[in-house]
């Protein structure tokens, strides 16, 4: 049986607007990652902290920690969720697009746990 990428419906609510999509639920990512252009569009609140990590593509990434007013994963609404904001590499965006997943949001483990979500690679949910 083939394992699938786990996807989840997400909705971001910031101080400037809202954004809904279907995103990758990545248990290998600690924090939820939001592309810088989307963070600007919805209006996140930056904390002043810098976060360094290695991306799924193996590249060193410097991100800014921010809060979204609400991050809804499936039916679970998380208030004031901390996220990492960085410019997602175009080649990573391309892989996400080809997989039918939003290229601007990757749901990380902390968000998955807070939302009481149990990712299942067999059902992709």
Contact in structure between 9 and 26 (CB atoms under 8 Å): no
Please report how many Cα atoms fall inside a 13 Å half-sphere around the Cα of residue 1, on the Cβ side: 7
Q: What is the pTM of this model?
A: 0.88
Q: Tell me which DSSP letter residue 32 carries.
A: -
**Is residue 75 one of the residues assigned to a domain?**
yes
Sign of CA dihedral 48, 31, 85, 19: negative
**Is residue 36 one of the residues assigned to a domain?**
yes
- Number of structural domains in the chain: 1
Whichever domain contains 61, its CATH number is 2.40.70.10
**Is residue 16 one of the residues assigned to a domain?**
yes
**Is residue 93 one of the residues assigned to a domain?**
no
Q: Model confidence over 68-95: pLDDT tens digits?
A: 999 999 999 999 999 999 999 898 899 8
Contact in structure between 115 and 78 (CB atoms under 8 Å): yes
The range of the structural domain enclosing residue 40 comes to 7-88+98-114
**Is residue 39 one of the residues assigned to a domain?**
yes
**Is residue 41 one of the residues assigned to a domain?**
yes
Q: Model confidence over 3-49: pLDDT tens digits?
A: 578 899 999 999 999 999 999 998 888 899 999 999 999 999 999 99
Q: What angle do CA 122, 124, 125 make, to 5 degrees?
A: 115
**Is residue 54 one of the residues assigned to a domain?**
yes
């Amino acid at each position: 049986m083939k394992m699938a990428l786990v996807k989840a419906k997400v909705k971001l609510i910031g101080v400037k607007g809202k954004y809904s999509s279907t995103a990758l639920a990545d248990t290998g990512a600690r924090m939820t990652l939001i592309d810088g252009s989307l963070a600007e569009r919805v209006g996140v609140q930056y904390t002043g902290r810098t976060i360094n990590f290695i991306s799924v593509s193996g590249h060193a990434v410097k991100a800014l920690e921010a809060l979204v007013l609400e991050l809804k994963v499936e039916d679970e609404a998380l208030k004031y969720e901390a996220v990492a904001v960085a410019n997602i590499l175009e080649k990573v965006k391309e892989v996400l697009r080809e997989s039918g997943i939003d290229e601007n949001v990757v749901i990380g483990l902390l968000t998955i746990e807070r939302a009481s979500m149990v990712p299942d690679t067999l059902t992709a949910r």
